[in-house]
Amino acid sequence: MVVTTTGTIEGRTIVDYKGVVTGEAILGTNIFRDIFAGLRDIVGGRSASYEKVLREARETAFRELEDEARRLGANAVVGVDIDYETVSTGSSGSMLMVSVSGTAVVVR
């Protein structure tokens, strides 16, 4: 499955448009991860725990996008848009949301 942010795929011809497809993933973090990430913000550096959760969410969202495209009979998704959001859940932590959307197509 070819997945791209561009509207075309070089060297390939779009022969059929199957429709818009999406994938979403919302993953929770926990209070301890939030505390350590906050400390990391103060002293500097990267937060490996948040990066791992974000990577998992992105991979899940793309997997859902590709699965939906396959169900429609597509072999590619073009014009993909990736969106990241955080949703605060109060004292229990926060949620990381990744949503992706694009157009499922058949290319030759």
Q: 65-86: per-residue pLDDT in tens?
A: 999 999 999 999 999 999 998 8
CB 13 within 8 A of CB 108: yes
Q: What is the DSSP letter of 91?
A: G
N-terminal to C-terminal alpha carbon distance within the chain: 12
Long-range contacts of 33-39 (CB under 8 A, 24+ apart): 33/93, 34/93, 34/94
pTM value is: 0.80
Low-confidence stretches of the chain (pLDDT < 50) are 31-32
